[in-house]
Protein backbone atom coordinates (compact mmCIF):
# COMPACT_ATOMS: atom_id res chain seq x y z
CA UNK A 1 0.00 0.00 0.00
CA UNK A 2 2.85 2.43 0.88
CA UNK A 3 4.67 1.72 -2.39
CA UNK A 4 1.47 2.40 -4.35
CA UNK A 5 1.05 5.78 -2.62
CA UNK A 6 4.68 6.72 -3.35
CA UNK A 7 4.17 5.97 -7.04
CA UNK A 8 1.04 8.19 -7.16
CA UNK A 9 2.87 11.04 -5.42
CA UNK A 10 5.83 10.70 -7.82
CA UNK A 11 3.43 10.84 -10.79
CA UNK A 12 1.75 14.02 -9.46
CA UNK A 13 5.13 15.71 -8.90
CA UNK A 14 6.23 14.83 -12.44
CA UNK A 15 3.03 16.27 -13.95
CA UNK A 16 3.45 19.48 -11.92
CA UNK A 17 7.05 19.90 -13.14
CA UNK A 18 5.96 19.45 -16.77
CA UNK A 19 3.18 22.07 -16.37
CA UNK A 20 5.53 24.58 -14.75
CA UNK A 21 8.13 24.07 -17.48
CA UNK A 22 5.47 24.60 -20.18
CA UNK A 23 4.29 27.82 -18.47
CA UNK A 24 7.77 29.36 -18.30
CA UNK A 25 8.60 28.21 -21.82
CA UNK A 26 5.49 29.90 -23.23
CA UNK A 27 5.84 33.24 -21.41
CA UNK A 28 9.62 33.61 -21.53
CA UNK A 29 10.81 32.01 -24.79
CA UNK A 30 7.94 32.76 -27.18
CA UNK A 31 8.37 35.92 -29.30
CA UNK A 32 7.08 38.86 -27.32
CA UNK A 33 4.07 40.73 -28.75
CA UNK A 34 3.49 44.34 -27.77
CA UNK A 35 0.36 45.06 -25.77
CA UNK A 36 0.01 48.30 -27.70
CA UNK A 37 0.13 46.48 -31.04
CA UNK A 38 -2.51 44.06 -29.83
CA UNK A 39 -4.80 46.90 -28.89
CA UNK A 40 -4.14 48.95 -32.01
CA UNK A 41 -4.65 46.06 -34.43
CA UNK A 42 -7.84 44.83 -32.81
CA UNK A 43 -11.06 46.52 -33.91
CA UNK A 44 -12.64 49.08 -31.63
CA UNK A 45 -15.41 47.72 -29.40
CA UNK A 46 -18.65 48.01 -31.34
CA UNK A 47 -22.12 46.68 -30.85
CA UNK A 48 -22.54 46.45 -34.62
CA UNK A 49 -25.81 47.40 -36.28
CA UNK A 50 -28.41 48.72 -33.85
CA UNK A 51 -31.93 47.33 -33.63
CA UNK A 52 -34.90 49.57 -34.34
CA UNK A 53 -37.72 49.15 -31.80
CA UNK A 54 -41.12 48.09 -33.08
CA UNK A 55 -42.97 51.07 -34.50
CA UNK A 56 -39.83 52.97 -35.47
CA UNK A 57 -39.69 55.24 -38.51
CA UNK A 58 -37.15 53.80 -40.96
CA UNK A 59 -35.58 56.96 -42.31
CA UNK A 60 -34.19 55.56 -45.55
CA UNK A 61 -37.78 54.92 -46.65
CA UNK A 62 -38.30 58.70 -46.64
CA UNK A 63 -35.37 59.43 -48.95
CA UNK A 64 -36.23 59.56 -52.68
CA UNK A 65 -34.88 56.42 -54.30
CA UNK A 66 -33.17 58.32 -57.11
CA UNK A 67 -31.23 60.35 -54.51
CA UNK A 68 -30.48 57.60 -52.00
CA UNK A 69 -27.16 56.26 -53.32
CA UNK A 70 -25.53 59.68 -53.72
CA UNK A 71 -26.92 60.87 -50.38
CA UNK A 72 -25.45 57.87 -48.57
CA UNK A 73 -22.01 58.59 -50.07
CA UNK A 74 -22.11 62.20 -48.91
CA UNK A 75 -23.35 61.15 -45.49
CA UNK A 76 -20.51 58.62 -45.11
CA UNK A 77 -17.94 61.28 -45.98
CA UNK A 78 -19.41 63.72 -43.47
CA UNK A 79 -19.54 61.02 -40.78
CA UNK A 80 -15.87 60.22 -41.27
CA UNK A 81 -15.02 63.89 -40.80
CA UNK A 82 -17.19 63.96 -37.68
CA UNK A 83 -15.30 60.98 -36.25
CA UNK A 84 -11.97 62.63 -37.07
CA UNK A 85 -13.03 65.68 -35.06
CA UNK A 86 -14.49 63.83 -32.08
CA UNK A 87 -12.27 60.77 -31.54
CA UNK A 88 -8.57 60.32 -30.80
CA UNK A 89 -6.04 57.74 -29.73
CA UNK A 90 -7.30 58.31 -26.18
CA UNK A 91 -10.41 56.37 -27.16
CA UNK A 92 -8.34 53.16 -27.38
CA UNK A 93 -9.21 50.46 -24.87
CA UNK A 94 -6.26 49.87 -22.50
CA UNK A 95 -5.74 47.03 -20.02
CA UNK A 96 -3.50 46.98 -16.96
CA UNK A 97 -1.48 43.79 -16.58
CA UNK A 98 -1.56 42.19 -13.09
CA UNK A 99 1.35 42.56 -10.65
CA UNK A 100 3.30 45.02 -12.78
CA UNK A 101 6.45 46.52 -11.20
CA UNK A 102 5.90 49.70 -13.23
CA UNK A 103 4.28 52.79 -11.75
CA UNK A 104 2.89 55.46 -14.10
CA UNK A 105 0.01 57.94 -14.39
CA UNK A 106 -3.25 56.31 -15.49
CA UNK A 107 -5.42 59.44 -15.57
CA UNK A 108 -5.10 63.20 -15.49
CA UNK A 109 -1.75 63.66 -17.22
CA UNK A 110 -2.46 66.62 -19.50
CA UNK A 111 0.07 68.64 -21.50
CA UNK A 112 -0.23 71.74 -23.61
CA UNK A 113 0.58 71.44 -27.32
CA UNK A 114 4.24 72.13 -28.19
CA UNK A 115 5.10 72.45 -24.50
CA UNK A 116 7.50 70.46 -22.28
CA UNK A 117 5.86 68.84 -19.25
CA UNK A 118 7.30 66.57 -16.55
CA UNK A 119 5.73 63.09 -16.54
CA UNK A 120 4.56 62.47 -12.95
CA UNK A 121 4.86 59.21 -11.06
CA UNK A 122 7.26 57.16 -13.24
CA UNK A 123 8.90 54.54 -11.05
CA UNK A 124 10.17 50.97 -11.09
CA UNK A 125 9.65 48.55 -8.19
CA UNK A 126 11.80 45.47 -8.68
CA UNK A 127 13.88 42.97 -6.72
CA UNK A 128 17.67 42.91 -6.40
CA UNK A 129 19.44 42.77 -9.77
CA UNK A 130 22.82 43.60 -11.27
CA UNK A 131 21.22 45.91 -13.83
CA UNK A 132 17.87 47.59 -14.51
CA UNK A 133 16.72 48.61 -17.97
CA UNK A 134 13.50 50.47 -18.81
CA UNK A 135 12.23 52.08 -22.00
CA UNK A 136 9.58 54.69 -22.72
CA UNK A 137 8.10 55.29 -26.19
CA UNK A 138 5.67 57.90 -27.54
CA UNK A 139 4.44 58.82 -31.03
CA UNK A 140 3.37 62.50 -31.02
CA UNK A 141 6.27 64.05 -29.14
CA UNK A 142 9.75 63.44 -27.75
CA UNK A 143 11.20 62.54 -24.35
CA UNK A 144 13.98 64.23 -22.42
CA UNK A 145 15.75 63.73 -19.07
CA UNK A 146 16.94 66.52 -16.83
CA UNK A 147 20.38 65.08 -15.99
CA UNK A 148 22.64 62.12 -16.74
CA UNK A 149 24.39 60.84 -13.59
CA UNK A 150 27.46 58.60 -13.73
CA UNK A 151 26.83 54.91 -14.15
CA UNK A 152 23.64 55.46 -16.17
CA UNK A 153 23.32 54.61 -19.86
CA UNK A 154 20.77 56.76 -21.71
CA UNK A 155 19.75 56.28 -25.33
CA UNK A 156 17.22 58.39 -27.21
CA UNK A 157 17.29 61.57 -25.12
CA UNK A 158 15.28 64.08 -27.19
CA UNK A 159 13.69 61.36 -29.30
CA UNK A 160 10.41 59.42 -29.35
CA UNK A 161 11.96 56.35 -27.68
CA UNK A 162 14.00 56.68 -24.49
CA UNK A 163 16.03 53.76 -23.02
CA UNK A 164 17.63 54.00 -19.57
CA UNK A 165 19.91 51.36 -18.02
CA UNK A 166 21.46 51.53 -14.55
CA UNK A 167 22.89 49.23 -11.87
CA UNK A 168 21.21 51.18 -9.05
CA UNK A 169 17.43 51.10 -8.65
CA UNK A 170 17.51 54.27 -6.55
CA UNK A 171 19.48 56.16 -9.20
CA UNK A 172 17.17 54.86 -11.93
CA UNK A 173 14.06 56.06 -10.11
CA UNK A 174 15.62 59.44 -9.42
CA UNK A 175 16.28 59.81 -13.13
CA UNK A 176 12.74 58.65 -14.09
CA UNK A 177 11.41 61.45 -11.89
CA UNK A 178 13.03 63.94 -14.31
CA UNK A 179 11.62 62.56 -17.59
CA UNK A 180 9.59 65.12 -19.56
CA UNK A 181 7.29 64.88 -22.57
CA UNK A 182 7.14 67.54 -25.30
CA UNK A 183 4.36 67.34 -27.87
CA UNK A 184 5.37 68.07 -31.46
CA UNK A 185 1.82 68.21 -32.83
CA UNK A 186 -0.31 71.33 -32.46
CA UNK A 187 -3.87 70.33 -31.75
CA UNK A 188 -6.35 71.87 -29.32
CA UNK A 189 -7.64 68.47 -28.12
CA UNK A 190 -5.86 65.24 -28.98
CA UNK A 191 -3.65 62.71 -27.22
CA UNK A 192 -0.76 60.28 -27.26
CA UNK A 193 -0.13 56.82 -25.79
CA UNK A 194 3.12 56.17 -23.92
CA UNK A 195 4.56 52.62 -23.74
CA UNK A 196 6.56 51.93 -20.57
CA UNK A 197 8.59 48.67 -20.53
CA UNK A 198 10.77 46.66 -18.15
CA UNK A 199 11.86 43.11 -19.04
CA UNK A 200 8.63 41.26 -19.97
CA UNK A 201 6.38 43.87 -18.38
CA UNK A 202 4.70 46.54 -20.45
CA UNK A 203 2.31 49.33 -19.56
CA UNK A 204 0.49 51.82 -21.78
CA UNK A 205 -0.79 55.10 -20.36
CA UNK A 206 -2.56 58.08 -21.97
CA UNK A 207 -1.22 61.59 -22.42
CA UNK A 208 -3.92 64.18 -23.04
CA UNK A 209 -2.79 67.07 -25.26
CA UNK A 210 -5.12 70.03 -24.77
CA UNK A 211 -5.07 73.75 -25.29
CA UNK A 212 -6.50 75.29 -22.09
CA UNK A 213 -9.71 77.30 -22.42
CA UNK A 214 -10.25 80.77 -21.11
CA UNK A 215 -13.13 80.83 -18.61
CA UNK A 216 -16.22 82.80 -19.60
CA UNK A 217 -17.74 84.19 -16.42
CA UNK A 218 -20.89 86.25 -15.90
CA UNK A 219 -21.18 88.93 -13.26
CA UNK A 220 -24.82 88.23 -12.44
CA UNK A 221 -25.27 91.02 -9.94
CA UNK A 222 -27.98 90.95 -7.30
CA UNK A 223 -31.27 91.46 -9.20
CA UNK A 224 -33.14 88.90 -11.26
CA UNK A 225 -32.98 91.27 -14.26
CA UNK A 226 -29.19 90.91 -14.25
CA UNK A 227 -29.47 87.11 -14.03
CA UNK A 228 -32.07 86.36 -16.69
CA UNK A 229 -33.35 87.61 -20.06
CA UNK A 230 -36.76 86.47 -21.27
CA UNK A 231 -36.85 85.38 -24.93
CA UNK A 232 -39.76 84.61 -27.22
CA UNK A 233 -40.65 84.29 -30.89
CA UNK A 234 -43.74 85.81 -32.50
CA UNK A 235 -45.52 85.30 -35.77
CA UNK A 236 -48.68 87.40 -36.27
CA UNK A 237 -50.20 86.87 -32.81
CA UNK A 238 -49.68 90.37 -31.39
CA UNK A 239 -52.72 90.19 -29.11
CA UNK A 240 -51.25 87.11 -27.45
CA UNK A 241 -47.90 88.85 -27.14
CA UNK A 242 -49.51 91.87 -25.44
CA UNK A 243 -51.07 89.61 -22.82
CA UNK A 244 -47.71 87.89 -22.25
CA UNK A 245 -45.81 91.17 -21.90
CA UNK A 246 -48.39 92.63 -19.51
CA UNK A 247 -48.17 89.52 -17.33
CA UNK A 248 -44.37 89.71 -17.29
CA UNK A 249 -44.45 93.35 -16.18
CA UNK A 250 -46.89 92.50 -13.41
CA UNK A 251 -44.17 90.41 -11.71
CA UNK A 252 -40.90 91.63 -13.26
CA UNK A 253 -40.96 95.35 -14.02
CA UNK A 254 -37.50 95.81 -15.51
CA UNK A 255 -36.41 92.42 -16.83
CA UNK A 256 -35.31 92.51 -20.50
CA UNK A 257 -37.52 90.74 -23.01
CA UNK A 258 -36.11 89.86 -26.45
CA UNK A 259 -38.63 89.26 -29.23
CA UNK A 260 -37.80 87.68 -32.59
CA UNK A 261 -40.53 88.58 -35.10
CA UNK A 262 -40.94 87.03 -38.56
CA UNK A 263 -44.46 88.34 -39.24
CA UNK A 264 -45.09 89.41 -42.84
CA UNK A 265 -46.42 92.79 -41.67
CA UNK A 266 -44.62 93.42 -38.37
CA UNK A 267 -46.02 95.86 -35.84
CA UNK A 268 -43.81 98.19 -33.85
CA UNK A 269 -43.30 97.32 -30.17
CA UNK A 270 -41.88 100.20 -28.15
CA UNK A 271 -42.24 99.17 -24.50
CA UNK A 272 -39.41 99.81 -22.08
CA UNK A 273 -36.84 96.99 -21.60
CA UNK A 274 -38.00 95.37 -24.85
CA UNK A 275 -35.69 94.40 -27.72
CA UNK A 276 -37.72 93.74 -30.85
CA UNK A 277 -35.88 92.16 -33.80
CA UNK A 278 -37.57 92.03 -37.19
CA UNK A 279 -36.80 89.04 -39.43
CA UNK A 280 -37.68 88.22 -43.03
CA UNK A 281 -41.23 86.83 -43.15
CA UNK A 282 -41.96 83.23 -42.11
CA UNK A 283 -38.38 82.22 -41.36
CA UNK A 284 -39.59 79.79 -38.76
CA UNK A 285 -39.43 78.96 -35.09
CA UNK A 286 -35.83 77.78 -34.81
CA UNK A 287 -34.45 80.69 -36.82
CA UNK A 288 -36.29 82.99 -34.42
CA UNK A 289 -34.92 81.18 -31.41
CA UNK A 290 -31.39 81.51 -32.77
CA UNK A 291 -31.82 85.23 -33.29
CA UNK A 292 -33.33 85.87 -29.87
CA UNK A 293 -30.78 83.80 -27.94
CA UNK A 294 -27.87 85.31 -29.91
CA UNK A 295 -28.69 88.71 -28.39
CA UNK A 296 -28.78 87.56 -24.74
CA UNK A 297 -26.00 89.00 -22.58
CA UNK A 298 -27.11 87.58 -19.22
CA UNK A 299 -25.95 84.26 -17.77
CA UNK A 300 -29.39 82.69 -18.27
CA UNK A 301 -32.35 83.12 -20.55
CA UNK A 302 -35.95 82.02 -20.01
CA UNK A 303 -37.72 80.72 -23.10
CA UNK A 304 -41.48 81.24 -23.31
CA UNK A 305 -44.00 80.93 -26.12
CA UNK A 306 -45.87 84.06 -27.17
CA UNK A 307 -49.21 82.65 -25.92
CA UNK A 308 -48.00 81.93 -22.38
CA UNK A 309 -48.94 84.08 -19.38
CA UNK A 310 -47.06 84.67 -16.13
CA UNK A 311 -48.87 83.77 -12.91
CA UNK A 312 -48.14 83.68 -9.18
CA UNK A 313 -46.49 80.29 -9.81
CA UNK A 314 -44.02 81.67 -12.39
CA UNK A 315 -41.10 82.18 -10.05
CA UNK A 316 -37.98 82.58 -12.17
CA UNK A 317 -35.93 82.96 -8.97
CA UNK A 318 -36.64 79.35 -8.01
CA UNK A 319 -35.21 78.08 -11.31
CA UNK A 320 -32.15 80.33 -11.00
CA UNK A 321 -31.57 79.10 -7.45
CA UNK A 322 -31.41 75.48 -8.63
CA UNK A 323 -29.15 76.30 -11.58
CA UNK A 324 -26.77 78.14 -9.25
CA UNK A 325 -26.72 75.26 -6.76
CA UNK A 326 -26.20 72.66 -9.50
CA UNK A 327 -23.81 74.37 -11.97
CA UNK A 328 -23.60 71.20 -14.10
CA UNK A 329 -27.17 71.84 -15.28
CA UNK A 330 -27.67 73.56 -18.64
CA UNK A 331 -31.46 73.50 -19.14
CA UNK A 332 -34.17 73.49 -16.46
CA UNK A 333 -37.77 73.08 -17.54
CA UNK A 334 -40.92 73.96 -15.63
CA UNK A 335 -44.55 73.10 -16.19
CA UNK A 336 -47.31 74.69 -18.27
CA UNK A 337 -50.64 75.01 -16.47
CA UNK A 338 -49.26 72.54 -13.93
CA UNK A 339 -48.55 69.92 -16.61
CA UNK A 340 -45.00 68.77 -17.30
CA UNK A 341 -43.76 67.57 -20.65
CA UNK A 342 -40.42 65.79 -20.63
CA UNK A 343 -38.78 62.85 -22.32
CA UNK A 344 -35.65 60.72 -22.35
CA UNK A 345 -33.54 59.84 -25.37
CA UNK A 346 -31.90 56.46 -25.93
CA UNK A 347 -29.29 56.43 -28.67
CA UNK A 348 -27.33 53.52 -30.11
CA UNK A 349 -24.55 54.52 -32.49
CA UNK A 350 -24.98 51.47 -34.73
CA UNK A 351 -22.50 50.86 -37.52
CA UNK A 352 -20.97 53.25 -40.03
CA UNK A 353 -23.05 52.10 -42.98
CA UNK A 354 -26.61 52.07 -41.63
CA UNK A 355 -26.28 54.63 -38.85
CA UNK A 356 -27.73 54.79 -35.36
CA UNK A 357 -31.06 54.16 -33.68
CA UNK A 358 -32.75 56.86 -31.60
CA UNK A 359 -35.70 56.35 -29.31
CA UNK A 360 -37.63 59.16 -27.63
CA UNK A 361 -39.59 58.05 -24.56
CA UNK A 362 -42.20 60.57 -23.44
CA UNK A 363 -42.96 61.09 -19.73
CA UNK A 364 -39.76 59.27 -18.78
CA UNK A 365 -36.91 60.67 -16.68
CA UNK A 366 -33.64 59.15 -15.49
CA UNK A 367 -33.83 59.86 -11.76
CA UNK A 368 -34.46 62.63 -9.25
CA UNK A 369 -32.10 65.58 -9.21
CA UNK A 370 -30.15 65.03 -5.96
CA UNK A 371 -31.25 67.46 -3.26
CA UNK A 372 -34.24 68.72 -5.26
CA UNK A 373 -37.30 66.46 -4.86
CA UNK A 374 -39.40 68.51 -7.31
CA UNK A 375 -36.94 67.99 -10.18
CA UNK A 376 -35.80 65.02 -12.26
CA UNK A 377 -33.07 64.60 -14.86
CA UNK A 378 -34.29 64.09 -18.41
CA UNK A 379 -33.21 64.59 -22.04
CA UNK A 380 -35.78 67.19 -23.06
CA UNK A 381 -38.42 69.45 -21.55
CA UNK A 382 -41.36 71.70 -22.44
CA UNK A 383 -41.09 75.12 -24.18
CA UNK A 384 -40.94 76.86 -20.80
CA UNK A 385 -37.34 76.50 -19.62
CA UNK A 386 -34.42 78.38 -18.11
CA UNK A 387 -31.12 77.75 -19.89
CA UNK A 388 -27.45 78.60 -19.61
CA UNK A 389 -26.86 81.08 -22.42
CA UNK A 390 -23.34 80.20 -23.56
CA UNK A 391 -23.98 76.45 -23.70
CA UNK A 392 -27.22 76.75 -25.68
CA UNK A 393 -25.61 79.20 -28.09
CA UNK A 394 -23.01 76.52 -28.90
CA UNK A 395 -25.68 73.86 -29.57
CA UNK A 396 -27.95 76.22 -31.49
CA UNK A 397 -31.33 75.68 -33.14
CA UNK A 398 -31.27 74.30 -36.66
CA UNK A 399 -32.96 76.99 -38.83
CA UNK A 400 -33.77 74.39 -41.47
CA UNK A 401 -36.60 73.31 -39.17
CA UNK A 402 -39.28 75.97 -39.51
CA UNK A 403 -42.51 74.49 -38.18
CA UNK A 404 -41.61 70.95 -37.09
CA UNK A 405 -39.12 71.09 -34.27
CA UNK A 406 -38.77 71.01 -30.51
CA UNK A 407 -37.36 67.63 -29.61
CA UNK A 408 -34.80 68.20 -32.36
CA UNK A 409 -32.99 70.86 -30.30
CA UNK A 410 -32.50 68.37 -27.48
CA UNK A 411 -31.48 65.67 -29.96
CA UNK A 412 -28.74 67.96 -31.29
CA UNK A 413 -27.77 68.78 -27.70
CA UNK A 414 -27.61 65.17 -26.52
CA UNK A 415 -24.29 64.68 -24.74
CA UNK A 416 -23.80 68.45 -24.50
CA UNK A 417 -26.83 69.53 -22.46
CA UNK A 418 -27.55 68.45 -18.88
CA UNK A 419 -31.33 68.77 -18.63
CA UNK A 420 -33.83 68.56 -15.77
CA UNK A 421 -37.58 69.10 -15.39
CA UNK A 422 -39.19 70.66 -12.29
CA UNK A 423 -42.82 70.63 -11.21
CA UNK A 424 -42.83 73.47 -8.68
CA UNK A 425 -42.47 76.37 -11.16
CA UNK A 426 -45.31 76.83 -13.60
CA UNK A 427 -46.54 79.23 -16.29
CA UNK A 428 -50.04 79.74 -17.64
CA UNK A 429 -51.33 79.24 -21.17
CA UNK A 430 -53.70 81.70 -22.80
CA UNK A 431 -57.03 80.34 -24.03
CA UNK A 432 -57.48 79.89 -27.75
CA UNK A 433 -59.16 82.84 -29.44
CA UNK A 434 -60.45 83.26 -32.96
CA UNK A 435 -59.60 86.29 -35.05
CA UNK A 436 -58.03 87.05 -38.41
CA UNK A 437 -54.44 86.82 -37.11
CA UNK A 438 -54.92 83.52 -35.29
CA UNK A 439 -56.63 82.02 -38.35
CA UNK A 440 -53.68 83.04 -40.52
CA UNK A 441 -51.31 81.79 -37.83
CA UNK A 442 -52.98 78.38 -37.73
CA UNK A 443 -52.68 78.06 -41.49
CA UNK A 444 -48.91 78.55 -41.16
CA UNK A 445 -48.52 76.66 -37.89
CA UNK A 446 -49.72 73.27 -39.08
CA UNK A 447 -46.87 71.73 -41.09
CA UNK A 448 -47.43 70.14 -44.45
CA UNK A 449 -46.48 66.54 -45.12
CA UNK A 450 -43.51 67.74 -47.17
CA UNK A 451 -42.02 69.42 -44.08
CA UNK A 452 -42.43 66.27 -42.01
CA UNK A 453 -40.69 64.29 -44.73
CA UNK A 454 -37.91 66.87 -44.85
CA UNK A 455 -37.34 66.50 -41.10
CA UNK A 456 -36.99 62.73 -41.41
CA UNK A 457 -34.49 63.10 -44.26
CA UNK A 458 -32.59 65.59 -42.11
CA UNK A 459 -32.34 63.04 -39.30
CA UNK A 460 -31.12 60.45 -41.80
CA UNK A 461 -28.24 62.60 -43.06
CA UNK A 462 -27.42 65.16 -40.37
CA UNK A 463 -27.79 62.86 -37.35
CA UNK A 464 -26.56 59.72 -39.18
CA UNK A 465 -29.63 57.78 -38.05
CA UNK A 466 -31.15 54.61 -39.37
CA UNK A 467 -34.41 55.00 -37.50
CA UNK A 468 -36.29 57.10 -34.96
CA UNK A 469 -38.89 55.80 -32.54
CA UNK A 470 -41.30 58.24 -30.96
CA UNK A 471 -42.74 56.77 -27.78
Per residue in 67-116, pLDDT tens? 999 988 999 899 888 888 878 888 778 878 788 999 999 999 999 999 99
d(CA 252, CA 258): 14
Whether pLDDT at 23 is above 50: no
Please state the rounded mean pLDDT for residues 202-213.
Answer: 94
pLDDT tier, 117 (very low <50, low <70, confident <90, very high otherwise): very high
Question: Is pLDDT at 299 greater than 70 in this prediction?
Answer: yes
- Torsion angles phi and psi, residue 149, rounded to 5: -70, 160
* Least confident among 82-96, 187-201, 202-216, 278-292: 82-96
Please state the rounded mean pLDDT for residues 446-455: 80
Residues of the chain with CATH 2.60.40: 96-210
Q: Which residue has the higher pLDDT, 221 or 361?
A: 361
Beta bridge partners of 188: none
Least confident of 77-86, 133-142, 304-313, 406-415: 77-86
pLDDT tens-digit map of 2-19:
444 444 444 444 444 444
What Cα–Cα distance (Å) separates residue 373 from each residue in 322, 377, 383?
Answer: 11, 11, 22
Which pLDDT score, from 0 to 100, does residue 83 have? 85
d(CA 204, CA 257): 54
Domain 96-210: give its CATH architecture: Sandwich (2.60)
- Global pTM reads 0.81
Q: What is Dmax (Cα atoms) for the chain?
A: 113
Q: Give, for 62, the enclosing helix (H) or strand (E).
A: none
Question: How far is Cα 384 from Cα 382, in angstroms, rounded to an integer?
Answer: 5
Q: What is the model's pLDDT at position 33? A: 33
Least confident range of 200-204, 211-215, 441-445: 441-445
Q: What is the CA radius of gyration of the chain?
A: 31
Query: What's residue 2's pLDDT?
Result: 40
Cα separation, 301 vs 223, whole angstroms: 14
CATH topology of domain 224-470: Spore Coat Polysaccharide Biosynthesis Protein SpsA; Chain A (3.90.550)
3-state helix, strand, coil in the chain (%, to 5): 30, 30, 40
Please, what's the b/e burial string for 345-368 (b: 16 or more CB within 10 A of its CB; e: otherwise)?
A: bebbebeeebbbbbbbbeeebeee
* CA-based nearest residue to 285, from 445, 432, 443: 445
Distance CA 22, CA 305 (A): 75
pLDDT above 50 (res 190): yes
- Model confidence at 48, in pLDDT bands (50, 70, 90)? confident
Is the Cβ–Cβ distance between 415 and 328 less than 8 Å? no
Which band of pLDDT confidence, cut at 50, 70 and 90, is reported for residue 437? low
For the chain, residues classed under CATH 3.90.550.10 are 224-470
Q: Which of 14-23, 64-73, 292-301 is the most confident on average?
A: 292-301
- pLDDT of the residue at 3: 47
pLDDT of residue 294 exceeding 80, the answer is yes
Q: How far apart are CA 293 and CA 306, in angstroms?
A: 15
Amino acid sequence: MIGKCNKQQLLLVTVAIILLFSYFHFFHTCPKQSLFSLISSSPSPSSGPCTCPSGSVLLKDHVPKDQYEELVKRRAKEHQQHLARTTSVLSSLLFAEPNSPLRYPIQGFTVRPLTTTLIPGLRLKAGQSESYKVSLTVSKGFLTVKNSPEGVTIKGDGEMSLVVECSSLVTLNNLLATVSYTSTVYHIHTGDLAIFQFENHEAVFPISIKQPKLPVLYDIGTEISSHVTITTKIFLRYQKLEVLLSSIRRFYSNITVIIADDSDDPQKITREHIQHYIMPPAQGWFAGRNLAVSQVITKYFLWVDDDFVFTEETKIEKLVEIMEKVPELDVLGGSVEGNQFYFSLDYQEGDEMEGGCLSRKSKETFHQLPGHPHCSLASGVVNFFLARTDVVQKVGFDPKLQRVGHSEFFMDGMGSLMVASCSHVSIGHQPHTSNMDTARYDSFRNPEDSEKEFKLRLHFFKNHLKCVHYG
